Structure 1
Amino acid sequence: MNLLTRLASDVCLMLRRPPRQQYAALCYRRKKKTGQVDVLLLTSRDTGRWVIPKGWPMEGKKADAVAAQEAFEEAGVRGKVETEQFGFFDYEKKLRNGVNVLCRVQVHLLEVTDMVKNFPERESRTLEWVSPQEASLRVNEPELKELFLSFGKQMAQTQQPPVQKTATL
């Protein structure tokens, strides 16, 4: 790499802003009869791509509370949200003024216990329950794809029946 190219690259790195923080909920439910786990996807309001509920920090609210609030406003779901993050993903968001900003999204698991029909963004979103594997195929962000796959593997391990031990006489 020549000196001028390296200098230009270093300047670009120095001027790049850190990612903006957002918080999200990976909403899931376990089917009572089969134990199978489904995750909730919804469409974004602007492009119609498949996403999970997410939003900007809210004054006075912790990350997990923001994730739960966004899940209710965008998808009409309530449930038990994990306080510890499950993971994160990055994506580029186009702001209203046309500027693209890098966002880092901290993801919290939310086990859905209740769904309501009347929620703030019901008119502007489509919701669908799918397997974690199907969700990984539908979303665009590579790190979010990996989170769905990881979640699916984790849940598959917890739903297997216990191994029966036999005694030998």
Structure 2
Amino acid sequence: MTDRTLRSKRRQVGALCWILADEDQIQFLLVTSRDTGRWVTPKGNRMKGLADAEAAAEEAMEEAGATGLLSSEPIGTFTYDKRLSGKARRLTAVDVYAIHVTHLFDRWPEAHERERRWFSRMDAIEAVDEPELKRLIAGFAP
């Protein structure tokens, strides 16, 4: 996919939240989407006045109650069909920033709307639907 193609799509930012668990195994924090209940990374629209990395961190806090050490550059991009009002869909590109989670809040803004769960790398790859996101998770190295 060319840069020009990506620019022609709707753009969002997302957070790949991770920790090192027992035996130095990476785990990923995923949340359920509000509309379909599928497992996804926290993501959302770019925010005026915030750098994209900061907006990704804000999405991680709002959707998953997670904060931590944020990468300043995206680790990759994935695309998905965003459901708009009615039955319309729009191809959306998500620039993903890694967040090494240092704190999870018991209460967070969207706790009543989403489930959050830690996944092993293999389970996270299986849980998400988007092929490009599967590849990002598979290839992620802190």
Common fold: TM-score over 0.5: yes
Aligned AA for 1:34? Answer: E
- How many residues align? The count is 136
Structure 1: 4+ residue segments shifted above 6 A: none
- 1:88 matched residue in structure 2: 77
Structure 2: 5+ residue stretches without partners: 1-6
Supply the distance in 1 between the matched residues of 2:71 and 2:86 (Cα, whole angstroms). Answer: 34
Q: CA deviation at 1:81?
A: 0.7
Q: Report % sequence identity.
A: 42
- 2:48 matched residue in structure 1: 59
Structure 1: 5+ residue stretches without partners: 1-16, 156-169
Equivalent residue of 1:133, what SS? helix
Query: Which residue, out of 95, 103, 112, partners 2:92?
Result: 103
Cα root mean square deviation, aligned: 1.3
Supply the distance in 2 between the matched residues of 1:45 and 1:96 (Cα, whole angstroms). Answer: 13
Q: Is 2:62 the partner of 1:73? A: yes
> Normalization by structure 2: what TM-score?
0.91
Which structure's residues are more often helix, by fraction? 1
Supply the distance in 2 between the matched residues of 1:112 and 1:21 (Cα, whole angstroms). Answer: 24
Which structure's residues are more often strand, by fraction? 2
Supply the distance in 2 between the matched residues of 1:27 and 1:96 (Cα, whole angstroms). Answer: 28
Aligned AA for 1:25? Answer: A
Aligned AA for 1:92? Answer: D
Aligned AA for 2:91? Answer: L
- Tell me which of the two structures has the higher relative contact order, counting C-alpha pairs closer than 8 angstroms and 6 or more residues apart: 2
Larger radius of gyration: 1
